[in-house]
Amino acid sequence: MCSSCTFLELLTPVAPKRFLALASLSAAGKAIGVSTALAVQPAIHKNFAMTDNISEITAKSQAQHVVVDNVGMIIAIAVTKLAATHLPGRQALLAPLFLFFPLAVGDVFCTYKELKSVHLRSLNRTRAEMVITQWVEGGLMPTPLQASATENLLFPEIIGPGPRLQFVPLSRLPITPSEAALLGGGRARWTAKLLDGAWPATNFGIALRNDATPRDILTAILHATYVRMEVTQLKTADMTDTYRRREIIEHCLQKAQLHKGSLLAALSSNGWDVSQFLLGSSERCRWRVDDSLA
């Protein structure tokens, strides 16, 4: 965002008649970029704080920004004077434009490395799927440092073959009236089904009750991982059989309930925070007991 706005500022000498529009867009964009950076920086500083020294880390970070800004300004003034002295008028105006692109690439690369240096201990759907899949397949739970090294910041993470996990409203799950009655009167805080759709394009849907805890959500993701591993070994004809699908889900549910204690212990011992679970705005579609009876 800030790099794009800086590019607009560089265009103002080339298009002086559009100065006000370009400068206004640049200022608005930079304000948005600064607000975003200020919202993200506390999490980055907290990651590097070992004890109660977050104020010291914040001060050092701000000092580094001031130093880099001043050094960059000095270099920019020097380059501008050299260009004005040794280049004709039109070329002197275009010279900063050619320098902008390599500098912008360097800025984006440094930002990427800064974000990769942050090792988040909190779990969301993608991160939980990734570490639980590695634990189920290999028996080893990755640490936040190892997960950060493999986590993709630019594109959505694809966790193996098979059905994709989705948090969905209860109304989207293909449940029978008898199953809905059991949910309404039971203690289950979540339920899961293979969503309707042509195999293998179908997804695995999880519906969370309004009082579902992080432990419940992690157990549901463990259940989904077992289901994905089971169905990738089956033929298409087996998965079109409704009874076979129900049998797989029930079997994997029993495995998830059996191993959820080991999963939570492995997550905690490797530095993950299991006291909370981060859900996106589209994933907060929880149901109440009354909904299952409607």
Q: What is the DSSP secondary-structure string of 6-43?
A: HHHHHHTTT-GGGHHHHHHHHHHHHHHHHHHHHHHHHH
pLDDT of residue 132: 94
> What residues contact residue 112 under an 8 Å CB cut-off, 6+ apart?
153
pLDDT of residue 290: 56
Report the SS3 class of residue 44: helix
pLDDT of residue 291: 55
CA 70 – CA 130 distance, rounded (Å): 42
Contact 144, 271 (CB under 8 A): yes
pLDDT of residue 165: 85
- The CB-based long-range contact list for 5-13 (8 Å cut-off, 24+ gap) reads 5/29, 5/30, 5/33, 6/30, 6/100, 6/104, 7/97, 7/100, 7/104, 10/96, 10/97, 10/100, 11/97, 13/93
More confident residue, 158 or 185: 158
CA 226 – CA 252 distance, rounded (Å): 6
Instruction: Show me where the domains of the chain are located.
Output: 2-116, 125-293
pLDDT of residue 182: 63
> Mean pLDDT across the chain, nearest whole number?
79
> What residues contact residue 209 under an 8 Å CB cut-off, 6+ apart?
188, 189, 190, 286, 287, 288, 289
Give strand pairing partners of 192. 206
- pLDDT tens per residue across span 180-210: 666 665 667 788 877 765 555 568 888 888 8
- pLDDT tens per residue across span 260-287: 999 999 999 999 989 889 888 777 777 6
Whether the link from the prior residue into 16 is cis, omega within 30° of 0, is no
pLDDT of residue 169: 83
Report the SS3 class of residue 175: coil
pLDDT of residue 289: 56
Contact 220, 192 (CB under 8 A): yes
CA 203 – CA 166 distance, rounded (Å): 7
Q: Which of 12-16, 25-29, 66-70 has the lowest mean pLDDT?
A: 12-16
Q: How confident is the model at residue 293 (pLDDT cuts 50, 70, 90)?
A: very low
- pLDDT tens per residue across span 199-251: 555 688 888 888 888 999 999 999 989 988 887 776 555 555 667 777 888 88
- pLDDT tens per residue across span 40-99: 777 777 767 666 777 777 787 778 878 888 888 888 788 778 877 877 777 777 777 777
